[in-house]
A and B are shown apart, each in its own frame.
Chain A
Amino acid sequence: MSDVYVLGIDMLKFGRFPDQDVPELGAKAALLALDDAGLRVQDMEALYCGNLLQAGAMVGQRILQEIGQTGIPVTNCANACATGATAFREGWTAIKAGIYDLVLVVGVEQMGKAGLLGGGGGGRGIPKEGLLGSQLMPAVFAEAGMEHTRKYGTSFEHFAMVSVKNHHHSTRNPKSMYQMETPLEQVMNAEMIAYPNTKLMCSVNVDGAAAAVLASERKARQLGMGRAVRVAASVLTSDPYTERDLVMPDVNTCTRQAAKKAYEMAGVGPEDLDLVELHDCFATAEILHYENLGLCGDGEAAKLIDERQTWHGGRIPVNVSGGLLSKGHPLGATGVANVYEVCTHLRREAGARQVADAKLGLTHVIGLGSACGIHLLERVS
């Protein structure tokens, strides 16, 4: 089977664009990725489009209506917050299978004023939100974090430090929604949403789009490998049954299983990684994923953040883009945007936030419900 390469990739600066629509944002990102690859839409043999909130609205086709209706097959993907990674992986799968040599992947989302992520209440009877606990995302991820507190004594302050770090990182990322320092006291004293997550420990609702051009090895060699990045592993898992998952979605087991498969596929281990972009939808989640991805042993995540090992310049920098907490989290775009971030470092084009000598990076997303997508990306030397 052919190796798969990223030939072109780019993203829009995340923000709020009420005057633009979803296909427009997706089209802009698609053109940027095509330009980055030095290719045209006529060169693309298929489009894989990730969008969640308009999943029934043929977003991929509407993007082609903006940039060139070439008649290629379009697959529209929705997989909660793993939507973008799922679209990327569908493109990877098709090239692996030998069906195409060049495909376009787009992840795009317009969040508007979505407010608290996720639903509650509804259905027959009376609303249950606030009567039978909370189904809202901040509470779900707070409870997931408290499980870590229960096991290992992880404190509010440890979780808050994740937000301090990611906001700090974003000050060097011009494509991040926010570029502002948030000292520990500011994070901890921000409005409490669901203990221990304050407002600054919740991801930012933004609009955004990111796109990539994927190529087979044959095509990549033909076009030139200069800035190409090899996809060393692509893995998608769903949540296997665990004891409490009916009332407490389990984002840990599906991540652990995906990470194990990804490392096996690439023939590497977590110690080989130079940077990680993981799914910090809430500050509590990042702590869990340090261990789930094997960046440290079980029970060592608090120590990892305490010792600043996941800061830029540390042993294993995590979310140097600013992460979902500061760069923003446009659901369907997130899983392509984090591939953009890692590729940019592997290409040595990350400017002020460049991770020195980056050769191998990992991207991770979680779609609650649940899906886990992991990609390992490798510099072509």
Chain B
Amino acid sequence: MPEGAAAPGPLPIVSFLKIPPQGDPYLEGLQCGKCKAVFLGERSTCASCGARDALAPKRLANTGNLYVYTIVHRSFPGVTVPYISAIVDLDGGGTVKGNLVGIEPDPRKIQMGMPVEVVYKIAPTKDREGNEYLSYTFQPRT
């Protein structure tokens, strides 16, 4: 891509978010064939058992449960607060961090363990070259 030219479609906000040419975006982990541990991001060796070259891509589920959360009231300038920072255990393996939206940032409303789903959406900011980024959030699932 030439300098200064934006990509034709959105770029993934993190390397473990996959955007196939056809079909829906998804999160992809790496699973160790020896100990079954699931990782996010690139790596060649398993941090759990030390196995080399035993990691294979694993498509992660778009459903899971809220493990824990915090409500962030103070962040860097320009970051909209309050928001819910959530840790979600995906069905079938993999734990991911992201914003929980679609529910009030109020501890009386948020239940740890509640079912959530991964929803993909374009991030509100672009990079300096004008590229859009596809991000993800978690939403309550009924």
Contact = CB atoms under 8 A, between A and B. Distances in A.
Q: Which of B75, B79, B80 has the most CB of A within 10 A?
A: B75
Contact of A116 (B13, B74, B87): B74
B71 interface: yes
B69 A248 contact: no
A149 B39 CA distance: 26
Contacts of A191: 73-74
B19 interface: no
Contacts of A133: 85-87, 97-99
A132 B121 CA distance: 12
Interface string A132-151: 11101011001100110110
A142 B136 CA distance: 22
A247 interface: yes
Nearest to A247: B97
7 contacts: A126-B126, A130-B83, A133-B86, A134-B72, A194-B70, A241-B48, A244-B95
Interface of B: 11, 13-14, 37, 39-41, 47-48, 67-76, 79-83, 85-87, 89, 95-99, 107, 112-113, 123, 125-127, 133, 135-136
Contacts of B13: 125-126, 128, 131-132
Given A131-B13, A195-B107, A248-B97, A126 B37 contact: no
Interface residues of A, number: 36
Interface of A: 116, 120-121, 125-134, 136, 138-139, 142-143, 146-147, 149-150, 156, 191-197, 241, 243-244, 246-248
Contacts of A246: 39-41, 95
Given A132-B136, A143-B85, A248-B87, 11 more contacts: A129-B76, A130-B79, A131-B135, A132-B14, A133-B97, A133-B98, A136-B75, A136-B76, A150-B67, A195-B73, A195-B107
B48 to A, nearest CB: 4
B14 A150 contact: no
Contacts of B41: 246
B127 A126 contact: yes
B42 to A, nearest CB: 12
A181 to B, nearest CB: 24
A168 to B, nearest CB: 25
B69 A143 contact: yes
Main secondary structure of the interface of A (DSSP, over half): loop
A130 B11 CA distance: 18
Contacts of A244: 67, 87, 89, 95
A156 B76 CA distance: 24
A270 to B, nearest CB: 27
Contacts of A150: 67-68, 112-113
A146 B75 contact: no
A129 to B, nearest CB: 6
Contact of A241 (B37, B70, B79, B83): B37
Contacts of A196: 70, 107
B60 to A, nearest CB: 13
B112 A149 contact: yes
A146 B72 contact: no
Contacts of B73: 191-195
A142 B70 CA distance: 6
Contacts of B71: 192, 194-195
A116 B72 CA distance: 12
**Nearest 7 pairs between A and B by C-beta?**
A133-B85, A142-B70, A130-B79, A195-B71, A247-B97, A146-B68, A134-B85
